Amino acid sequence: MPINGYPKFKSYLVEFGIRQEEVAEILGMSREKLNTILNGRRNADFSMSEIIVLADRFKWSPEDVDRIFFTQNVANMQR
């Protein structure tokens, strides 16, 4: 998880007019928990299964998932 949460995902939600309540419902969590994850508080993070659910729901490609959820630093660490 990025230190400052998920700013790219938050921007995506704003750009496409998707409410946090809708995403929380898709993931079966409270809006408060989602907000905690999005803002990087309390070491909260998305699980891979939650990211897969979102990717399926929003029809994201693997490249979209990388762009939205993962930083270049993480990609470089895998080499």
Q: What is the pLDDT of residues 20-75, one digit of tens each?
A: 999 999 999 999 999 999 998 888 889 999 999 999 999 999 999 998 988 655 44
Domain harbouring 22, CATH code: 1.10.260
Domain count, the chain: 1
Residue 19 within any structural domain of the chain: yes
Q: What count of Cα atoms within 13 Å lies in the side-chain half-sphere of residue 73?
A: 3
User: Which of the four pLDDT bands, split at 50, 70 and 90, describes residue 1?
Assistant: very low
| Contact predicate 5/39, CB 8 Å | yes
pTM of this prediction? 0.80
Q: Would you state the structure tokens that stand for residue 20, as one six-digit string?
A: 């946090």
Residue 1 within any structural domain of the chain: no
Please report which residue ranges of the chain form alpha helices under DSSP H: 7-15, 20-27, 31-38, 48-58, 62-69, 72-77
Residue 15 within any structural domain of the chain: yes
| Integer CA distances (angstroms), 62 to 28, 32, 48, 65, in order | 23, 27, 13, 5
* Structural domain boundaries, residue 40: 7-77
